[in-house]
Structure 1
Amino acid sequence: MPPTLASLVHHSALKLTVRAGGDRLDVPVRWAHVSELADPVPYMEGGELLLITALKLDAEDPEAMRRYVRRLAGAGVVGLGFAVGVNYEEVPRALVDAAEEEGLPLLEVPRRTPFLAISKEVSAAIAADQYRAVTAGFAAQRELTRQALTDGPEGLLGALASQVDGWAALYDASGAVVASAPEWAGRRAARLTADVERLRERPAPASAVVGGSEHSDHDDRVELHSLGTGRRPRAALAVGTASTLGTAERYAVHSAIALLTLTTERSRSFQAAEQRIGVAVLRMLLAGEPDHARAVAGDLYGGLLDAPFRVLVAEPASARAHADASSHARVPGSADRAGDPLGRLAEVVESAAARSGETVLVVPEG
């Protein structure tokens, strides 16, 4: 975890003493910054431990200290380090009272502790935390890859849900939930279909965040990411967590996006290749070359039918043709397919083939 004021206070070499705000030492420190300006706020980003000697401050003036400390607290400064033995032999009472009033932690820095030592300790702790996050990210990437290779997208989603301590779901190009982890997450993911559809309207890669705010119906924070290398997303990934993702969790999500994109693109390539082989096999059969067709097809489609065989191709002409067929071509016992003329035709063909002892293969559209 990143350094905190408490970790600095407990560092034996720094010899820091808490003079105010002792109940707020658990806040993380983003940086340690030295400034002797009377108003350093314009140069602060928030999250800093500000180190001063009060070179340009009247630290014994209560009203001046109240204004000074109030400005620092409003700018997001998490702590104030005051060096004694330089301009003041001890921390002025006016500064202590102002810090207590605003709830801003005030640390006394002894003369033998240079500000540089504090800055180096904060920098080293931040670097160590980032290294741990990167290492955890690489470990997550290895685990996600292993799961993707052994158990496919379902295994990958399970590993990702564990890494982020939340849930994950995969959507297809239509916005339907394909897989989710844990099992209960499917219901939550299904309620985000409209958000996934809006994401699909944006050029890929695209992402969005839903939930996790006071205006949301759900407490969890959900990130949606499009998957695919083209302009239009081929799928989408949802990741739900209780709070914003940390560095390690972010690495895991990015790894999952890359792996799922690769899986999606490979699946489409395989499907396209299979369709091309199917067309070639059909053309060989129609040209009277069954041996060549079998050699090309291999085991891809199972055993090919032995000749002679019949091929029936049908497609609906129009919605009116559907209605006409529905009113003039009723098949007994097919009331459940009243709105599906091709389905009724398939029943008729299957029934006729069964009576004649022939085998029929019905291939639906798509």
Structure 2
Amino acid sequence: MTVQPADDVRASSVTLASLVQMTGLGLLVRAGEQELGRPVRWVHTSELDDPVPYLEGGELLLTTGLKLGRGKEKLRQYVHRLADAGIAGLGIGVGLSWEQIPAALVEAAEERGLPLLEVPQPTPFIAISKAVTAALAAEQYQAVTSAIETQEELTRAALGRDGAAAVVRRLAARLGGWAALYDASGAVSVAAPDWAARRAGRLRPEVDRLRGRPAPSSAALQGDEGGSQDYVVVQSLGADRRARGFLAVGTEDRLTSGERYVLNAAVALLTLTLERSRDLRLAEDRMRGALLRLVLAGETATAREVAAALTGGLPEGRVRVLLAAPTTGADEASAGVLDELAERVEQAAQRAGEGLLIAPVGERLVLIALDGGAAHRACADAALDLEGAALGISGPTVLESAGTAETEAERALAVALRSGRRVVDHDEVGAGSLLPLLGDEAVLAFAEGLLRPLREHDRTSRGDLEASLRAWLSRHGQWDAAAADLGVHRHTLRYRMRRVEELLGRSLDDADVRMELWLALRSQSDS
């Protein structure tokens, strides 16, 4: 794939052929007739024997040959220099220095395929300059008028129901090529026409490169790995240096100035569509933060009523609480990491049709997502992928117990931040050994995971297993004394201890198990 300058433009439609066809000028073709389709960028008049230093290429050069003389080799070198400079054509005014164009000039022009025009004496050079200037101005006016009309069309499309998709479709039709919109993760979300989706997918490496640069930024390319020779422009979309999406367009030729104007208009409209206002985002964050506080406080019935009206509902079934925090200080870069993590999670939940509750709380990001769902997986993947973010994940639970799960996520996050790990699952912490964990937060995380099966049992069934275990351990396994403390029969206590072993998957005959359980119970009572 060849990178091209982003400001390359397609040639003007003002050609040598169109000038020859203007009867008022009376131009005659003396050589290079097969190249009359060359566009004319400007008209330049010079009597220098070497005007090349003053040329840019694409000009129609006019001269009377005043200083060229009649030497055949000198005339030949003159033509070759002009051809090498890339002029569109050479016009010779006759009647002053020459009555007719020297044969040496005609031969050299034919040799190089350079159009050679004879300008009759009645035609002043200024008339040719005016004709080209007027044609270029008319062309530019038409391009600007067309661009304005297209901008109005794109604006109407952006205001419709499927604004972004409509803008992409109109843009592709206007450019006579294809267009594709990518989300912030670099996945193609809209492509027009439909066949362009595969071609747009091959540009993922270029999109990923732009993701690493502040928005807005762009790249222009010629061809791709699939064999296409399209001229492609890829543009990031974003107003606050963070890309919220990307736009790619492909055309057969390089863009004209008018087409670049249309592309810039589409970029602006798509940016406005994707970039919600800061006030709106803050309002949404406050609303979701309020819902989170309701859920974490156990007011799930009220939260469901509010969420049904505002967000479409809360996650149902087994959920996890996920807590993300920057691993560095609270600066702009760390905030950007959490923003990108949140955007990836929201997009994953939207694609999967999952309920999700997510909101920033202070310098952290709190999520309640379906256990093992798309949002849960996307959050863990993003934390592993992004530099500067750590994630603590609670054990699976029901929405009504989200407050307890938040504490678990807090403990897991503390372990992640202290150990330098990207992701720590509370189940993983609770399943390990207590002794290697240093610090109060790690001990509390271990205790939460270890005792969770007992607490879930006690919330839904009779038995008071946690209290029974505490009494039995405090009496060093003496059945009668512990049963008396609890006010139950010793056979009842024996049955409860068997249920404890079944739920924990551990034997109370193991002294290490009894020690860990006692420390876990004590850490909970002391916290």
CA distance in structure 1 between the aligned counterparts of 2:242 and 2:80, rounded to whole angstroms: 51
Identity of aligned residues (%): 53
Question: Secondary structure at 1:266's aligned position in 2?
Answer: coil
The aligned counterpart of 2:259 is 249
The aligned counterpart of 2:136 is 126
For 1:229, the aligned partner's letter is: A
Tell whether the 8 Å contact from 1:33 to 1:51 is kept in structure 2 after alignment. Answer: yes
Alpha-carbon distance, 1:103 to partner: 1.2
Tell whether the 8 Å contact from 1:284 to 1:293 is kept in structure 2 after alignment. Answer: no
The aligned counterpart of 1:112 is 122
Residue 31 (str. 1) matches residue 31 (str. 2) = no
CA distance in structure 2 between the aligned counterparts of 1:165 and 1:6, rounded to whole angstroms: 26
Shift in CA distance, 168/127, structure 1 to aligned 2, threshold 3 Å: same
Alpha-carbon distance, 1:212 to partner: 2.6
Alpha-carbon distance, 1:288 to partner: 7.3
Alpha-carbon distance, 1:96 to partner: 1.3
Residue 312 (str. 1) matches residue 401 (str. 2) = yes
Structure 2: segments with no counterpart, 5+ residues? 1-11, 315-397, 413-422, 433-451, 461-527
What whole-Å deviation, never above 9, does each CA across 1:48-89 have from its counterpart, x for those lacking one? 11101111011x322111100000000001111111111111
Alpha-carbon distance, 1:239 to partner: 0.9
CA distance in structure 2 between the aligned counterparts of 1:196 and 1:303, rounded to whole angstroms: 34
TM-score with structure 2 setting the length: 0.56
Alpha-carbon distance, 1:91 to partner: 1.3
Shift in CA distance, 196/267, structure 1 to aligned 2, threshold 3 Å: farther
Tell whether the 8 Å contact from 2:59 to 2:87 is kept in structure 1 after alignment. Answer: yes
For 1:233, the aligned partner's letter is: A
Question: Secondary structure at 2:79's aligned position in 1?
Answer: helix
Residue 171 (str. 1) matches residue 182 (str. 2) = yes
CA distance in structure 2 between the aligned counterparts of 1:172 and 1:140, rounded to whole angstroms: 24
CA distance in structure 1 between the aligned counterparts of 2:293 and 2:214, rounded to whole angstroms: 38
Tell whether the 8 Å contact from 1:16 to 1:107 is kept in structure 2 after alignment. Answer: yes
Question: Secondary structure at 2:159's aligned position in 1?
Answer: helix
- Counterpart of 2:202 (choices 183, 191, 197) is 191
Question: Secondary structure at 2:49's aligned position in 1?
Answer: coil
What whole-Å deviation, never above 9, does each CA across 1:91-143 have from its counterpart, x for those lacking one? 11221111111111111111110000000001111111111111111111111
CA distance in structure 1 between the aligned counterparts of 2:226 and 2:167, rounded to whole angstroms: 28
Alpha-carbon distance, 1:183 to partner: 1.1
Alpha-carbon distance, 1:325 to partner: 8.5
Question: Secondary structure at 2:61's aligned position in 1?
Answer: strand
The aligned counterpart of 1:342 is none
Larger-Rg structure = 2
Higher relative contact order (CA 8 A, sep 6+): 1
Structure 1: segments with no counterpart, 5+ residues? 328-344, 354-366
CA distance in structure 2 between the aligned counterparts of 1:217 and 1:120, rounded to whole angstroms: 44
What whole-Å deviation, never above 9, does each CA across 1:184-235 have from its counterpart, x for those lacking one? 211121222221111111122211123338x984322221111111122121
For 1:242, the aligned partner's letter is: E
TM-score with structure 1 setting the length: 0.79
Aligned length: 324
Q: Which runs of 4+ in 1 moved over 2 A?
A: 210-213, 215-218, 267-275, 278-294, 296-299, 301-304, 309-312, 314-327
For 2:274, the aligned partner's letter is: T
Shift in CA distance, 157/320, structure 1 to aligned 2, threshold 3 Å: closer
What whole-Å deviation, never above 9, does each CA across 1:319-360 have from its counterpart, x for those lacking one? 565558999xxxxxxxxxxxxxxxxx9xxx9xx99xxxxxxx
CA distance in structure 1 between the aligned counterparts of 2:27 and 2:137, rounded to whole angstroms: 22
Shift in CA distance, 172/280, structure 1 to aligned 2, threshold 3 Å: same
Tell whether the 8 Å contact from 2:182 to 2:190 is kept in structure 1 after alignment. Answer: yes
Tell whether the 8 Å contact from 2:300 to 2:399 is kept in structure 1 after alignment. Answer: no
Question: Secondary structure at 1:104's aligned position in 2?
Answer: coil
The aligned runs of 1:217-366 (5 Å cut-off) are 217-266=227-276, 270-281=280-291, 283=293, 286=297, 299-301=309-311, 311-313=400-402, 314=405, 317=412, 319=424, 321-322=426-427
Residue 44 (str. 1) matches residue 55 (str. 2) = yes
The aligned counterpart of 1:136 is 146
CA distance in structure 2 between the aligned counterparts of 1:190 and 1:323, rounded to whole angstroms: 37
CA distance in structure 1 between the aligned counterparts of 2:300 and 2:113, rounded to whole angstroms: 87
CA distance in structure 2 between the aligned counterparts of 1:250 and 1:37, rounded to whole angstroms: 37
CA distance in structure 2 between the aligned counterparts of 1:289 and 1:19, rounded to whole angstroms: 89
The aligned counterpart of 1:335 is none
The aligned counterpart of 1:16 is 27
CA distance in structure 1 between the aligned counterparts of 2:169 and 2:300, rounded to whole angstroms: 48
CA distance in structure 2 between the aligned counterparts of 1:237 and 1:310, rounded to whole angstroms: 39
Question: Secondary structure at 1:299's aligned position in 2?
Answer: helix
